[in-house]
Amino acid sequence: MSAAARPPARIRLGMVGGGEGAFIGGVHRMAARLDDQYSLLAAAPSATPERALRSGRALGLDEARIYTDYEVMARAEAARDDGIEAVAIVTPNHLHAPVARAFLKAGIHVICDKPVALSSRQARELQRLAVRQGRLFAVTHNYAGYAMVRQAREMVRRGQLGELRLVRVEYAQDWLAEPLEASGHKQADWRTDPARAGAGGCIGDIGTHAYQLAEYITGLTPTSLCAELSTFVADRALDDHVQVMLRYANGARGTLWASQVATGHENDLRIAVYGSRGGLRWRQQQPEQLHWTVLGQPAQLLTRGGPANDAAAQRVTRLPAGHPEGYLEGFATIYSEIAQHLRAARPGGARAERAANFPTLADGLRGMQFIEAAVASSRRGGRWVRLPAAA
Amino acid sequence: MSAAARPPARIRLGMVGGGEGAFIGGVHRMAARLDDQYSLLAAAPSATPERALRSGRALGLDEARIYTDYEVMARAEAARDDGIEAVAIVTPNHLHAPVARAFLKAGIHVICDKPVALSSRQARELQRLAVRQGRLFAVTHNYAGYAMVRQAREMVRRGQLGELRLVRVEYAQDWLAEPLEASGHKQADWRTDPARAGAGGCIGDIGTHAYQLAEYITGLTPTSLCAELSTFVADRALDDHVQVMLRYANGARGTLWASQVATGHENDLRIAVYGSRGGLRWRQQQPEQLHWTVLGQPAQLLTRGGPANDAAAQRVTRLPAGHPEGYLEGFATIYSEIAQHLRAARPGGARAERAANFPTLADGLRGMQFIEAAVASSRRGGRWVRLPAAA
Amino acid sequence: MSAAARPPARIRLGMVGGGEGAFIGGVHRMAARLDDQYSLLAAAPSATPERALRSGRALGLDEARIYTDYEVMARAEAARDDGIEAVAIVTPNHLHAPVARAFLKAGIHVICDKPVALSSRQARELQRLAVRQGRLFAVTHNYAGYAMVRQAREMVRRGQLGELRLVRVEYAQDWLAEPLEASGHKQADWRTDPARAGAGGCIGDIGTHAYQLAEYITGLTPTSLCAELSTFVADRALDDHVQVMLRYANGARGTLWASQVATGHENDLRIAVYGSRGGLRWRQQQPEQLHWTVLGQPAQLLTRGGPANDAAAQRVTRLPAGHPEGYLEGFATIYSEIAQHLRAARPGGARAERAANFPTLADGLRGMQFIEAAVASSRRGGRWVRLPAAA
Amino acid sequence: MSAAARPPARIRLGMVGGGEGAFIGGVHRMAARLDDQYSLLAAAPSATPERALRSGRALGLDEARIYTDYEVMARAEAARDDGIEAVAIVTPNHLHAPVARAFLKAGIHVICDKPVALSSRQARELQRLAVRQGRLFAVTHNYAGYAMVRQAREMVRRGQLGELRLVRVEYAQDWLAEPLEASGHKQADWRTDPARAGAGGCIGDIGTHAYQLAEYITGLTPTSLCAELSTFVADRALDDHVQVMLRYANGARGTLWASQVATGHENDLRIAVYGSRGGLRWRQQQPEQLHWTVLGQPAQLLTRGGPANDAAAQRVTRLPAGHPEGYLEGFATIYSEIAQHLRAARPGGARAERAANFPTLADGLRGMQFIEAAVASSRRGGRWVRLPAAA
């Protein structure tokens, strides 16, 4: 029996943000735990000592490794023999870049929520820093973790759709249809505040997910866009709705719609891709199913774990068909792929990351460029604006 | 027992177009027949004598009333005591206006397929002529006939959605994803020929339906649009795909998507309308159901004939809930409402027509204005273009 | 041009029942009208002279051909040169047999609603009479008219499912979940009255439809059954719910469920058939779609008018895919096939009828046998009871 | 800050079964891990030393706590200060009872997969033993862990459905539609072997889940049943299909269908419950949604995390609406509730367990009684058989 049978040691993980009342921090923790690839050992859950301590204790952390200052945490952990190898950044948007910077400088890999920064300039600086430090910068565009998204991507890659013609992605929610921020709702509060959320409201919070998903599945980055951001709720400082038309280099056309005021939609991310030979449709709220049509044949329902799943989908499948996997499993897939990537001792930087199936800072940067182009287009009254070419 | 119990005499109907190999002519005839409000007595099914005779006989028409020339038909029928009262025009698009003109001049009411003309100028001339002649000009935007569309319209009117914010309409087909016209397919042939279809391909054929449906349900006409028409099939002379962003006077925003190359969609007309208090969704391929959500409450499925149907929906309901009505029933509703309108001896012209629940030339004119604005916007590279105000 | 191009003369049709306040009479009339194969010329809509006259006039009938007595009508119409060729019987159940008897004796073909009689003995007498008179006896099990039901039947016939193993059919409604009959509701009133509905309530009204549909698609008649009829609404004289287990000669097993107290179901007739190689599912409320799975392959959605439709489905298709056909179209298909059958001058009787695609008295008889066996099984506390072999 | 903020220590967990090639062992481990309430510290994954060691190492276990003999494991763990508190039993069915007995005797709590034993007699012996030892015996009827199942149960309890009339539960799969066991498929192999699976094949494997779910939601245990077990695949020793009719003490009626040869179904567990005032429907493959209809009102779609969720559902909800939770989350809920129960230091035995929301040996016993009654009914040709009253 070979030693190889030993399971690899768990990745030592830290977290910044995600204290009491936060939503996404808990999700990251469950995702990291599901496949047993991480140990959460340190955290800076809050800048307020009492809250930080309370949150850190509730996580079962050693009190010596509960921090209130992420700079301190980065240095302290870097100095320990058993210090964290990677940090998960789950703060409001404006802190993503400075926190990431601190940990990269300390030589610690970064797993960051989106949008990765407040500007594409910031994102590019982070990119340079990560390369210089040889550290990974992963971005939790978690929807890329669904098995049927992997299946769709593989079918596009293999040419089953023929030449791509149309890309339609939409992400509709309704939780901000009323001025929730006015009543002190924590999630609504920072997401509608330009100082903490950045220049984009809805477009940054969910539009970037939709944009990344379309890129991820199609392999195409748009060359230009025409966007209109709107704010329907009075006294709100950021957009709560965005509609965008997209052009691609190969002549394909696309649309992106993201709304947080679309009454009747909960977390309704959908994508459809149409080519000269076939068309695909997927919906996040029924993630186990991929609607697939070859031109001139009856539509097929591909199901996760069912017949006709490619290796790309099977690799990220835990349960047999009909035993629903969901949001956490997709998120966990991203985390587990990051762990495998780290264990393979691949250096950070663009080349290694390009080979990864999980999203990285390159995606995060393009997300920032998308936000900036859309905001610019909208400010000019809905003019077409060019997007930077994908690096 | 009063004489009122006698059923009203059937409207004497003629038809131009709809001969062998046509699709929509047969639909009009079934629609006219379903509620027993019409007698088809005369037709000009083809300009070729042999084909006209063969088609007319197959319809059981008196040979004396089978015509090859619509001008002759208009004059001859006008001269008969038992001449037709209304004519259904089901030709390719380029003949709509000249045929309508001939019958209006002869004092015969017009029931015309869409788009009503090749230009808004033509449409306006027809409008003036109809008013002058005191004749009705109805347009078979048949999707307005569905009971759940009536229900949706009524709910918007009554304010159940609050202030309207978003209008999203899409109409996806895939039957032109390949160059069907190259193989002599009759329906594809004229629809992709600018000489017979007009300046718009997909936008005229199905985009106008989507546009009218959005107007019909919301009561809103956009003030400006930004459109991009595309042609994905090589050597096709007209667009087979269009995507449009819309702005409304009240600040609402909208999108319209129409495609005939969206593989996997058959006749997939959908609309969603979102307001400050509620949201509605409807899909033509499951027309019996209306998805309705009041903000903060569970979604409801309203069904035709089921609980909570308004009088506006009940009036156009023939069968109990769960006994599916479909495309022909919706089309028949338009025909039957036209018959009732004619029997009520209302004069033609804008005022009377505005009271009608069925679409009329005013809708047809706005459809032409939509096509023209979209073509203009697209030709200018996707610039925003103003739409004329609804009269 | 040959005289053959003339459309065949319409079948001269009469109707018994279907006066004011009736539901199914209007459905039969629309169904007969849709494909323009019938002229309704005579009727006995009510036994009350004033009501009969009012109803008959509303149908536009010649007053001389509005009757109050079906015996008189049968004789009078048989005596006319232009007398009716066929009669549609749309009365409450208890009148089906006596009315049918009168018209068969007068040499007039019968189109009868289900259940065809109050007992299988009565049904067999009618069968002998029809054969003796050489007249057709069609039964409007209308669900057999749906295109996707034809498709399903053809796929079973061709062996695409392999050896049949399981048949599951259910028909759920909720309109009798409360004692509607107590409030004078006309439809509920006679359906819950043994004197007019017969020995079966729910089982006769909708159970027979479910039973016939299963037979129609599978070609299998069960050999025995175990049934339990229940009455959930207090003071109701007939069953409002039935559940049945079925055994087939080839070893297949089945279940039938019919309920009129299943809150949340409108007219929810569903069937699933599973074989050793494939499985089919169909639902009447989404009749355009057939869910089809070959073992080991992804599920397919066959759609009416779409790819992979057999000739059997195409023959009864009026509209392109995605233009919903529904209940009336299915019903109209039965009527039109009857018209074609009559024009082909086929004699009535079992042999000719067996070749028909529409349901006939043989189906009606088996429906009666099913009711009787189920009632017998239920009365004996749910014992297994043999069914007569299909003739 | 109080010490109470410390998270409770994780429950020390062992596992018997679940080695290489097993399915459900991995599920139990993920479920135990998701909410961070357990530490897996010991296991007997296989009786073969090499396989046991390989499997145990892959789980990261201390080699001293990797066992090949569950008796040895029970004694050894009981003797350790840091020995396991509870054991998860995930072996083939025939080992459930002997393994459970060994651990109960050693004073270790049991978490056992279903069916809990090979006979109701065995189950009752276990029950007595558990009471005597004061240890918990939980059964992983995991479908009881879904939030919308909790919601349904609460709505029934609160009387929102009125008096219950009908219970319809079905569990359809197709993975055994062919003789998979003949090709050495490990899961198929033992499940079709009476020596390891017990007297029931399909009925034991999935029928018991369906039965438990119906009991769990309705709170009703049937008083008698009529069942037919079938085997459709040649040379199979156990049933692969079962259909059952159920009677309840309050006059309600029910059906249960379970099949492993229903081509086109993956893991299709569904339940519908109808009462005098409302009806509920739930489907495991779309677990986030509960279809709810109040008689006379439009159907509502309740969604997990959405409006109108009861506390009973909210308590087991991890993510916001529209972020799909699935099979593992439901399973994890059972595990986490067991952990909370153990920490509350409640003694084992019927009384404490009755208060639990997770299924226990009482459910497991009734499942055995259901299997036995169904087998008996089927062997007698489908006669009605009484079920023991729920204790």
Mean pLDDT of B200-218: 97
Which tens digits make up the pLDDT trace of A43-85?
Answer: 999 999 999 999 999 999 999 999 999 999 999 999 999 999 9
Q: A288 contacts in C (CB within 8 Å)? A: none
Which tens digits make up the pLDDT trace of A316-368?
Answer: 999 999 999 999 999 999 999 999 999 986 655 556 666 789 999 999 999 99
Lay out the sheet containing D38-44: strands in order across.
D38-44, D11-17, D86-90, D109-112, D137-139
Residue B356 is predicted with a pLDDT of 87
The whole-angstrom separation of Cα A113 and Cα A240 is 20
Residues of chain D contacting B, Cβ within 8 Å = 292, 296-303, 306-308
- Give how far B301 is from chain D: nearest CA, Å: 5
Helix axes D147-157, D327-343, angle to 10 degrees: 70
Mean pLDDT of A101-120: 96
Which tens digits make up the pLDDT trace of D252-274?
Answer: 999 999 999 999 999 999 999 99
User: E strands of B7-153, at which residues?
Assistant: 11-17, 38-44, 86-90, 109-112, 137-139
CA within 13 Å, CB half, D7: 18
| CB-CB neighbours of A378 under 10 Å | 21
- pLDDT over 90 at B344, yes or no: no
Q: D243 contacts in C (CB within 8 Å)? A: 245, 253, 255
Within C15-146, residue ranges assigned H as helices are: 24-34, 49-58, 70-79, 93-105, 120-133
The whole-angstrom separation of Cα C286 and Cα C269 is 10
- Give how far D31 is from chain A: nearest CA, Å: 8
Q: A303 contacts in C (CB within 8 Å)? A: 298-299
Structure tokens at D300: 């509502």
- Average the pLDDT over each of C337-351, C353-367, D124-138, D178-192 and give the range with the smallest value: C337-351
Concatenate the DSSP letters of all residues of B151-168 into one string: HHHHHHHTTTT-SEEEEE
C350 confidence band (pLDDT: 50, 70, 90): low
Average pLDDT of chain B to the nearest whole number: 94
3-state secondary structure of D67: coil
Share of chain D above pLDDT 70, in %: 96
Query: Are residues C227 and C233 in contact, defined by beta-carbon separation less than 8 angstroms?
Result: no
The whole-angstrom separation of Cα A317 and Cα B171 is 35
Query: Are residues A73 and A67 in contact, defined by beta-carbon separation less than 8 angstroms?
Result: yes
Within D64-185, residue ranges assigned H as helices are: 70-79, 96-105, 120-133, 147-157
The whole-angstrom separation of Cα B127 and Cα B135 is 10
- pLDDT over 90 at C14, yes or no: yes
Q: B161 contacts in A (CB within 8 Å)? A: 263
| CB-CB neighbours of B183 under 10 Å | 9
Residue A22 is predicted with a pLDDT of 80
**Cβ separation D264–C291 shorter than 8 A:** yes
Structure tokens at B255: 């999108």
Q: A301 contacts in C (CB within 8 Å)? A: 298-301
Question: Which of D280, D301, D302, D303 to probe by mutation at the B interface, max B CB count within 10 Å?
Answer: D301
Peptide bond before residue D179 is cis, with ω within 30 degrees of 0: no
3-state secondary structure of A238: coil
* ipTM score: 0.95
A98, A169, B22, B31, B53 from B62: Cα distances, Å: 86, 55, 21, 21, 10
Residue B186 is predicted with a pLDDT of 84
Q: B278 contacts in A (CB within 8 Å)? A: 263-264
**Cβ separation A178–B295 shorter than 8 A:** yes
- Residues 6+ away with beta carbon under 8 Å from C20: C45, C46, C51, C54, C55, C58
Q: B302 contacts in D (CB within 8 Å)? A: 298
Residue D229 is predicted with a pLDDT of 98
**Cβ separation B303–D306 shorter than 8 A:** no
Considering only CB atoms, A226 lies closest to which of B253, B262, B382, namely B382
D295 confidence band (pLDDT: 50, 70, 90): very high
What is the CA angle B22-B23-B24, rounded to 5?
110
- Residues 6+ away with beta carbon under 8 Å from C22: C90, C186
Mean pLDDT of D8-22: 91
Mean pLDDT of B246-266: 98
Residue C5 is predicted with a pLDDT of 55
C182 or B345, which is more confident: C182
- pLDDT over 60 at C1, yes or no: no
How many residues appear in chain B?
Answer: 391
- pLDDT over 70 at D1, yes or no: no
C14 or B1, which is more confident: C14
Q: Measured in whole angstroms, how far is the alpha carbon of residue A230 from the centre of its chain?
A: 23
**Cβ separation A255–B257 shorter than 8 A:** yes
Q: D191 contacts in A (CB within 8 Å)? A: none
Question: Which of A168, A228, A243, A263 to probe by mutation at the B interface, max B CB count within 10 Å?
Answer: A263
- pLDDT over 50 at A1, yes or no: no
Q: D307 contacts in A (CB within 8 Å)? A: none
For chains A and B, CB pairs below 8 A equal: 114
User: E strands of chain A, at which residues?
Assistant: 11-17, 38-44, 86-90, 109-112, 137-139, 164-172, 224-230, 241-247, 253-259, 268-275, 278-283, 289-294, 299-303, 384-386
Which tens digits make up the pLDDT trace of C234-251?
Answer: 999 999 999 999 999 999
Which chain D residue has its CA at the smallest distance from A34's CA?
Answer: D34
- Residues 6+ away with beta carbon under 8 Å from B338: B11, B86, B111, B136, B138, B358
- Give how far A309 is from chain C: nearest CA, Å: 9
Residue A391 is predicted with a pLDDT of 62
Strands B164-172, B253-259: pairing is: parallel
- Give how far D194 is from chain A: nearest CA, Å: 24
How is residue A206 annotated by DSSP?
I
**Cβ separation D166–C381 shorter than 8 A:** no
Question: Which of B176, B202, B247, B263 to probe by mutation at the A interface, max A CB count within 10 Å?
Answer: B263
Residue (of C29, C309, C266) closest to C146 by Cα position:
C309
- pLDDT over 90 at B353, yes or no: no
Residue D4 is predicted with a pLDDT of 39
Query: Are residues C200 and C115 in contact, defined by beta-carbon separation less than 8 angstroms?
Result: yes
Query: Are residues A360 and A353 in contact, defined by beta-carbon separation less than 8 angstroms?
Result: yes
The whole-angstrom separation of Cα C218 and Cα C200 is 24
Which tens digits make up the pLDDT trace of A352-363?
Answer: 666 789 999 999
Residue (of A360, A308, A302) closest to A148 by Cα position:
A302
Strands C299-303, C241-247: pairing is: unpaired
Domains by residue range for chain C, with CATH = 11-139 (3.40.50.720), 147-320+364-386 (3.30.360.10)
Q: Could you tell me how many helices (H) and strands (E) chain B has, helices first?
A: 14, 14
Which tens digits make up the pLDDT trace of A157-213?
Answer: 999 999 999 999 999 999 999 999 998 888 888 888 999 988 899 999 999 999 999
Residue C186 is predicted with a pLDDT of 84
Which partners does chain C have (≥3 C-beta pairs < 8 Å)?
A, B, D
Mean pLDDT of C341-354: 69
- Give how far D162 is from chain C: nearest CA, Å: 11
Query: Are residues D103 and D110 in contact, defined by beta-carbon separation less than 8 angstroms?
Result: yes
Question: Which of D148, D281, D293 to probe by mutation at the B interface, max B CB count within 10 Å?
Answer: D293
Residue D352 is predicted with a pLDDT of 62
The whole-angstrom separation of Cα B259 and Cα B201 is 10
- Average the pLDDT over each of A7-21, A279-293, D144-158, D223-237 and give the range with the smallest value: A7-21
* Residue located via tokens 């229940």: C230
Q: A289 contacts in C (CB within 8 Å)? A: none
Considering only CB atoms, B264 lies closest to which of A178, A276, A293, namely A293
Query: Are residues C218 and C157 in contact, defined by beta-carbon separation less than 8 angstroms?
Result: no
The whole-angstrom separation of Cα C77 and Cα C65 is 8
- Give how far A332 is from chain B: nearest CA, Å: 30
Question: Which of A6, A323, A325, A333 to probe by mutation at the D interface, max D CB count within 10 Å?
Answer: A323
- Residues 6+ away with beta carbon under 8 Å from C141: C114, C208, C209, C212, C213, C216, C334, C359, C363, C367
Which tens digits make up the pLDDT trace of C179-219?
Answer: 999 988 888 888 889 999 888 999 999 999 999 999 999 99
- pLDDT over 70 at A124, yes or no: yes
- Give how far A170 is from chain C: nearest CA, Å: 23
Query: Are residues C295 and C209 in contact, defined by beta-carbon separation less than 8 angstroms?
Result: no
The whole-angstrom separation of Cα C367 and Cα C116 is 8
- Residues 6+ away with beta carbon under 8 Å from A347: A134
- pLDDT over 80 at D5, yes or no: no
